[in-house]
Structure 1
Amino acid sequence: MAEVQLKGVTKTFGPDVALNNVTMTIPDGSFVVLLGPTGAGKTTTLRMVSGLDKPDSGQVSIGGRDMAGLTPAQRNVAMVFQQYSLYPHLTVRQNLEFPLKSPLLKTPQADIDRKVEETAEILQISHKLNNKATALSGGEMQRVSIGRALVRDPSVYLMDEPLSSLDAKLRADLRVELKSIQADSGATLLYVTHDQIEAMTMATHVGVLDNGSLVQFGAPREIYENPVSIYAASRLGQPRINVLPADIFGGAPSGALNIGLRPEQIIQGEGEDSFVQRVEHLGDQTRLHLTFKSHDIITVTDAHTELKSGDIVQIRPHNPFYFDASGARLA
């Protein structure tokens, strides 16, 4: 595996700036998730690393080697896309073998057979090896798609929202499997998603992108607990961070326009009165939808709470975040 570096990478498509001077280091053996909404620059970053697109300026290096002018095959990267990208007329075994039969790799057949069997066992599709791809379920097809990357030994794995088209249970199952595979193999993996749960559960590092700019890069917990801006704070956390006028509780620092409160930053049972509008029982937790001084707040409480709509709950902030007029975090 290898460290990946982007230095001052900029990419435009006509008048649109897809990436704006992005500098980022993806450590060797890390699981890096690029997080942000549609249009943030996530997939473009992936395409810069893969060689599918070329930057207008800046440098991409893998393992300390400048990738300028090198094709995706020469960069030794393996990609997994949102769509399955399988050959429908081939069996699962043949689909898994296909990347290893490249003339560039010259892989002996015995090694191909071994890698296919090992990968199929890891992804729990050994019993499907002789099935045509068209006979598989959506989840099985995505496992094969992921397997086509895993059979190789690339410098870096690149994955573009590979789980987004699956149902909730399959997504949860494959999240666990992907993280386990990455951790066991020590692979360097760059993963694109807009799903913050995937970022929080799988990533060693998260890169938060906004309109082509890298807003913050760090461990998921670091970004959650120490966001640099309202935007970064809103990318992680469920329920989303509450953003309210800075002086709603009093005591705001100079220059603050907004206060940010995650559920654990709201102390219940003391402070000022808020009104319960709705109670959502989710099994392991209960969400409270509150109204406080005409503002909506969502927080969580004990799973077995007896609170109900119309009740009054006293609340106060605890170690809140404050943001200035630009949305930047105040110390």
Structure 2
Amino acid sequence: MAEVALRGVSKSFGGDVALDDVTMTIPDGSFVVLLGPTGAGKTTTLRMVSGLDVPDRGQISIGGRDMAGLTPAQRDVAMVFQQYSLYPHLTVRQNLEFPLKSPILRTPRDEIDRKVGAVAEMLQISHKLSNKATELSGGEMQRVSIGRALVRNPALYLMDEPLSSLDAKLRSDLRIELKNIQANSGATLLYVTHDQIEAMTMATHVGVLDQGRLVQFGTPRAIYEDPVSIYAASRLGQPRINILPADLFPGAPARARNIGLRPEHILQGAGQESQVQRVERLGDQTRLHLSLKGHDLITVTDAHTPLTPGALVKIQPQNPFYFDATGARIA
């Protein structure tokens, strides 16, 4: 496995800036998630690292080796895309075997059988090994696509929203499996998603991208607890952070334009009076949708709360974030 380093990487397509001076180090053996909405630069970053696209400026290295001029095959990376990349005329077994039969790897037959069997069992597709790819469901096809990457032992795994087309239960199961695979194998994995749950549950590090710029890089917990801006704070957390006018509560710094409150950072029982608009019961917790002086916000409360719509609740902030007029965090 290998450390991956990007230094001042920029890329434009015509007049559109896709990446703008991105500098980032992906530690050896880490699970790094690139997080952001469509157009943030996530997939472009992945394509730069893979060699499918070439930076206009900057340097990319894998394992200390400059990747300039090297093809994807020469970079020793395994890629999984959102769309299934299978050979439809081949069986599941043949699709899984295909990467191992390349002239570069020259994997012995018994090793191919062992790796294919282990990956098929892990992804719960052992019973489908004899099926043609065209006979599979969408979820099964994506599992085979992931399996084709996992049978190899590359320097780096690159995954572009591989779980987005799967149903909720399978997504949850595969999140656990991918994290276990990465942790047990020590693999370096760069993963692209807009799903903050995937980032929070799988990543050792998260890179938050906004319009081609890397705005924050750190552990999911560090970004959640210490965001550098409103944008970074809004990328992680479910429900999303409440962003409100800073003068809604007393004690705001002079430069503060907005106050940011995570749902769990709103204390009930004292402070400003708000009204319950909706009660959302989720089993282990209940979310309260409140209205405070015309502003909507969400907080969490006891699962068995007796509160109902129309009830009045006093609230006050605990450990709030403050942001200036540009959206930057005020320390």
The alignment's TM-score, normalised by the length of structure 1, stands at 0.99
**1:303 partnered with 2:293:** no
Counterpart position of 2:10: 10
Counterparts of 2:279 and 2:270, CA distance in 1: 19
Shift of 1:113: 1.5
Instruction: Tell me the residue number matched to 2:47.
Output: 47
**CA distances 1:133-184 after superposition (whole Å, capped 9, x unpaired):** 1222222111110000011110000000000011111111111111111111
- Residue 287 of structure 1 is matched in structure 2 by 287
Higher mean displacement: 293-302 or 199-208: 293-302
Q: Please give the alpha-carbon distance, in whole angstroms, between the structure 2 residues aligned to 1:114 and 1:176.
A: 22
Pairwise CA distance, 1:199: 0.3
Q: Which residue of 2 aligns with 1:158?
A: 158
> For 1:231 and 1:175, how far apart are their aligned partners in 2?
25
Question: Deviation of residue 211 (structure 1)?
Answer: 0.2
Q: Deviations over 1:100-128 (max 9, x none)?
A: 11112222222212211121122121121
Measured in 2, the distance between the counterparts of 1:282 and 1:137 equals: 31
Distance (whole Å) between structure 2 residues aligned to residue 108 and residue 169 of structure 1: 36
Q: Which residue of 2 aligns with 1:115?
A: 115
Match of 1:314 in 2: 314
> Which stretches of structure 1, 4 residues or more, deviate above 4 A after TM superposition?
none
Q: Alpha-carbon deviations, 1:37-60, whole Å to 9, x = none?
A: 000000000000000000000000
Equivalent residue for 2:88?
Answer: 88
Aligned with 1:247: secondary structure?
Answer: helix
**Structure-1 residue corresponding to 2:237:** 237
Q: Which amino acid aligns with 2:183?
A: A
* Residues 48-67 of structure 1 aligned to structure 2 (within 5 Å): 48-67=48-67
Cα distance in 2 for partners of 1:178, 1:136 equals: 21
| 1:78 maps to 2:72 | no
Could you say what secondary structure the match of 2:304 adopts? coil
Residue 39 of structure 1 aligns to which amino acid in structure 2?
G
Structure 2: 5+ residue stretches without partners? none
**Which residue identity does 1:72 align to in structure 2?**
P
Scaled by the length of structure 2, what TM-score is found? 0.99
Q: Where does residue 221 of structure 2 map in the other structure?
A: 221
RMSD: 0.8
Q: Distance in 1 between matches of 2:272 and 2:106?
A: 71
Letter in 1 for 2:144: V
Pair 1:249 & 2:262 matched: no
Other-structure match for 2:133: 133
Structure 1 alignment gaps of length 5 or more: none
Residues of 2 paired with 1:291 and 1:220: CA distance? 29
Residue aligned with 2:249, SS? coil
Q: Deviations over 1:19-45 (max 9, x none)?
A: 000000000000000000000000000
* Letter aligned with residue 89 of structure 1: H
Q: Which amino acid aligns with 2:173?
A: D
Deviations 1:280-322 (A, max 9, x none): 1112211111010111111111111111000000000011000
Question: Deviation at 1:325?
Answer: 0.5
Is 1:175 aligned with 2:175? yes
Q: Which residue of 2 aligns with 1:102?
A: 102
What SS does the aligned partner of 1:326 have? coil
SS in 2 for 1:183: helix
Cα-to-partner distance string for 1:192-250 (whole Å, 9 max, x where unaligned): 00000000000000000000000000000000000000000000001110011111111
Q: Distance in 1 between matches of 2:268 and 2:52?
A: 52
- Tell me the matched-pair count: 331
CA distance in 1, matches of 2:120, 2:277: 50
Paired amino acid for 1:270: A
Paired residue for 2:34?
Answer: 34
Query: Which deviates further from its counterpart, 308-317 or 120-129?
Result: 120-129
- Deviation at residue 68 of structure 1 after TM alignment: 0.2
Q: Following the alignment from structure 1 to structure 2, what is the Cα–Cα distance between the partners of residues 208 and 285? A: 28
